[in-house]
Structure 1
Amino acid sequence: MIKRLLVYIAGSIFLLSASGCLVAESTYLKKAEEYDTVSKELAELQKTHQKLVLENAALKTRFNRLTEDAAVLAADKKQLEGILKAKSDVLSKNISELRQQVAELKVENGRLNTDIAELQKAKEEKVKEVSGTYEKLLANMKNEISQGQVTISELKGKLTVNMEAAILFDSGKADVKPEGLEILSKMVETLKNVNDKAIRIEGHTDIVQITGGLTRIFPTNWELSAARAINVTKFLQQEGINPLNLSAAAFAEHKPVADNNTKEGRAKNRRIEITLVAKD
């Protein structure tokens, strides 16, 4: 419309010029001024139009880019939702399995606590039994204990009766002498009641080696300590102690309990030990 107006004004000016002084000069100037104004407005509008065209193109480009970004984000969202669901399913399964395991562990813990309580009770009963055996042996052998010929010790459920060889055997002999049999007899009734322990009879000597004609019977201290331990074991069996609970062992001079350089020490090392230990 503006363009047609400019053409119209221009045409009017031309006609006025061609027709001479058909119109006043003021009218011509007015029309020329209007033409200039409209021309400027047209230029501004064209400039604005061009700017808007560029902005529109930029907005379309941005819109397209945002549309693409939105599509990518939507795809990412869908993928992440799938991953999240898969992980959620796995997590739910793991939680269910863990709950089952916790329940099973609670049952197992309850069973273990019951077993522990029973074992503790059994242990306490065994300790009481060993303590009872210990007290009975102390009472039965108080004379020998008071003379230092016998010692009885109890440590962590292990009971040991230590008897010097002199009260059981003559020097260089393995047969238990009558006095020794009387001492061993004091233990028999108590040991008969021991069924949950192994009764081990150990023979020990000092470091003095066997010499002379005695070597024909006992070449070394091994044979002597073994013969003494076996003879004590046989006597206990003959007196009614279950042979399945009995065993004999020899250590010769290799497990001393005192100094072998003194007479008193050697006397202590020549000994029979009867030990109550846990069965294999």
Structure 2
Amino acid sequence: MALGRNRRRERGGDYWPGFVDALSTLLIAIMFLLTVFVVAQFVLSREISGKDEVLNRLNSQIAELTQMLALEKSGKQDLEDTLANLQSSLSTSESERSRLQALLDAGSGTSAQAQVKINDLTGKLNDEKQVSSRAMSQIELLNQQIAALRAQIAAVEQALQASEAKDKDSQVKITDLGRRLNVALAQKVQELNRYRSDFFGRLREILSDRQNIRIVGDRFVFQSEVLFPSGSADMNPNGQEEMAKLAAALIDLSKEIPSDINWVLRVDGHTDNVQMSGNGRYADNWALSAARAISVVKFLISKGVPAERLAAAGFGEYQPIAPGDTPEARAQNRRIELKLTER
């Protein structure tokens, strides 16, 4: 009759479906935020990597254009030096021609040698004028090429500045998005932990009246002596009775858990540090602890607990909960732990 009253009281204050709906909505929101963050990170990373390639190409073009500009300036300087020499030679030739012409005029045309020299100098002067004209044309062409190179360098620098500004803006966006997502995730994780605590609190309420069960955090601890004879993995009648109660509670609780929550009950076997005798059924404590965990799992399956919701593990004597080597400590370390977790 007390159990019937407890069940009527639980049905009257059944708040668990609301918690489960809130938990499902919370998980969907977290997955959506994580998806948005991953997509944003991927798109921005692609954009940044593309900008890095463009920047590298622009820097390479600037280096090539700078080198070409240096070469063009060097060629221009050589041509200007040649033009200066030609102009100096032209000035000297004109002076010499004027002097010879004056001598020719003074000699009234009687000096054939002076006339020949004048003709020779006149030819050289014409040649030098042609060379000077070609040099001037080349200098003009070089000036045009230098102006074009300077225009290209200015355009490249403008593109580089625009790319750097866009890259800085992208980095700011990524930082702001990460900060906001971290804040949102921290809030959602706090809510998720609160709902998880409520979940295990419900289990504590269901199993609080069971004898021979210690609740430690989110684990349910059975002493091995309650379930098994010494050195054996065959469950005794008292152990089967306790496990049957636990199986009934798990089956009742599983009906309230939505099918999209992937939970599992892990059964952990532990022993003390006393080594097994060589003539026993089990070679060592590892084998005994694993066999006991498997025995509990098989019994729960036989009572209707779904096999896909169960897992067995053996830890031997290597995870004691009581320090020391006293009989009391060994008794506490010989145990079966049941832990309900999300897979």
Corresponding position of 2:270: 204
Cα distance, 1:94–1:201 mapped onto 2, change above 3 Å: farther
The alpha-carbon deviation at position 258 of structure 1 amounts to: 1.2
Distance 2:220 2:144 in 1: 83
1:253 and 2:312 matched: no
- Please say if residues 243 and 300 of structure 2, whose CA atoms lie closer than 8 Å, have aligned partners that are also in contact: no
Cα distance, 1:278–1:182 mapped onto 2, change above 3 Å: closer
Corresponding position of 1:229: 293
* Per-residue CA distance 1:83-115 (angstroms, 9 max, x = gap): 765554233212332444455556656765676
* Per-residue CA distance 1:219-262 (angstroms, 9 max, x = gap): 32222211111122223344454433432111111221213511
Corresponding position of 1:127: 193
Cα distance, 1:212–1:102 mapped onto 2, change above 3 Å: closer
Distance 1:278 1:89 in 2: 59
The structure 1 residue matched to 2:224, chosen from 156, 160, 165, is 165
The alpha-carbon deviation at position 271 of structure 1 amounts to: 0.9
Corresponding position of 2:242: 180
- Please say if residues 273 and 317 of structure 2, whose CA atoms lie closer than 8 Å, have aligned partners that are also in contact: yes
Tell me the amino acid that sits aligned with residue 288 of structure 2.
L
Cα distance, 1:143–1:133 mapped onto 2, change above 3 Å: same
- Please say if residues 247 and 304 of structure 2, whose CA atoms lie closer than 8 Å, have aligned partners that are also in contact: no
Distance 1:259 1:102 in 2: 57
Tell me the amino acid that sits aligned with residue 327 of structure 2.
K
TM-score (norm 2): 0.46
Tell me the amino acid that sits aligned with residue 161 of structure 2.
I
Cα distance, 1:242–1:179 mapped onto 2, change above 3 Å: closer
Corresponding position of 2:60: none
Deviates more, 1:197-206 or 1:177-186: 177-186
Q: Percent identity?
A: 28
* Per-residue CA distance 1:38-90 (angstroms, 9 max, x = gap): xxxxxxxxxxxxxxxxxxxxxxxxxxxxxxxxxxxxxxx99998776555423
Unpaired runs of at least 5, structure 1? 1-76, 154-158
Tell me the amino acid that sits aligned with residue 296 of structure 2.
V
1:274 and 2:338 matched: yes
Tell me the amino acid that sits aligned with residue 274 of structure 1.
L
The structure with the largest alpha-carbon Rg is 1
Distance 1:173 1:264 in 2: 20
Cα distance, 1:278–1:136 mapped onto 2, change above 3 Å: closer
* Per-residue CA distance 1:160-184 (angstroms, 9 max, x = gap): 3333223333333323323322452
Partner SS state of residue 252, structure 1: coil
- Please say if residues 144 and 150 of structure 1, whose CA atoms lie closer than 8 Å, have aligned partners that are also in contact: no
- Please say if residues 201 and 275 of structure 1, whose CA atoms lie closer than 8 Å, have aligned partners that are also in contact: yes
Partner SS state of residue 220, structure 2: strand
Tell me the amino acid that sits aligned with residue 339 of structure 2.
T
Cα distance, 1:110–1:264 mapped onto 2, change above 3 Å: same
Cα distance, 1:240–1:86 mapped onto 2, change above 3 Å: farther
* More strand per residue: 1
Unpaired runs of at least 5, structure 2? 1-142
Cα distance, 1:136–1:152 mapped onto 2, change above 3 Å: farther
* Per-residue CA distance 1:114-167 (angstroms, 9 max, x = gap): 76566556534542342122212222232458x7x41321xxxxx333332233
TM-score (norm 1): 0.54
